[in-house]
Amino acid sequence: MTGLSLQNTSTPAGQILEFLLRNGPTSIKELEDVTGVTATAVRQQLASLTTEGLVAMSKERQGVGRPRNLYQLTERSHSIFAYYSDELALDLIGELLETEGTDKLRYLLNRVGVKLAAQYRRQIKGEAMGDRMRELSLLLDRRGIRVDLEQDAGVFILREYNCPYHELASVHRDVCEMERSAFSLALDADVILGDCIQDGHNSCQFVVSCRPAAAPAPR
């Protein structure tokens, strides 16, 4: 059930998990509209997902009257969505920190980021930044990373809804910097990490802006 729910978004359970991943705490009425099934069917799906430890309920007060129930993903769900980190990687980093220290870890993460950027660059063919951003979004999507892309006030905003390194980044935030740097190198652009899932936000927000052309050298 768990693996199918996370991979198959054509099922009501998969649609619910995908919607909660992208939108955060949500009411039954909203989930009813998204899935196209009855409120009773939504409640049954939520009950099953809650039993599996993938969804949790909270209450939100809106003035007078009864509070409404909201549903959101649990930490376990975010860990399952994170396809590329595991206990072995955490153990290896722990050993590295004990034997070599933080500086060595950052040095190695930087090298990993450079290699990751090179992989992206080999597959990004567009000349215009908009084309490059769309190609990067497609690459991330193929790796199972849910993303949205928008353009606003001259910059591109890439939102990742599931951290590909969730377990690692929750312990070692240098991993977040590694990914930001990889995007910057791959796109040849300035990239700022704004909101971050590790800080309790619903997504990691990468703000991408083109670098100004270099001024010609004086003669």
Region for 175 from its dihedrals, namely left if φ exceeds 0, alpha if ψ lies in -120 to 50, beta otherwise: alpha
Q: Which CATH architecture has domain 2-80?
A: Orthogonal Bundle (1.10)
Q: How confident is the model at residue 4 (pLDDT cuts 50, 70, 90)?
A: very low
2 has pLDDT over 60: no
3.20.20.140, 3.40.50.620, 3.30.1380.20, 3.50.50.60: CATH of 87-210: 3.30.1380.20
Q: How far apart are the first and last CA of the chain?
A: 68
7 has pLDDT over 50: no
Tokens of 108: 């190695």
Strands (DSSP E) contained in the chain are 55-60, 68-73, 147-152, 155-160, 189-193, 204-210
The DSSP code for 206 is E
59-118 pLDDT, tens digit per residue, is 887 777 788 889 998 877 776 665 544 566 667 777 887 888 888 888 888 898 999 999
pTM of the model: 0.66
Domain coordinates in residue numbering, the chain: 2-80, 87-210
Task: Establish whether domains 2-80 and 87-210 are of one fold.
Answer: no
Helix, strand, or coil here: 26? Answer: strand
Contact 70, 26 (CB under 8 A): yes
Q: What are the strands of the beta sheet with 147-152, ordered from one edge?
A: 147-152, 155-160, 204-210, 189-193
Write down the pLDDT at residue 71: 93
Query: 37, exposed or middle or buried, with CB in 10 Å at 0-12, 13-18, 19+?
Result: middle
Write down the pLDDT at residue 5: 39
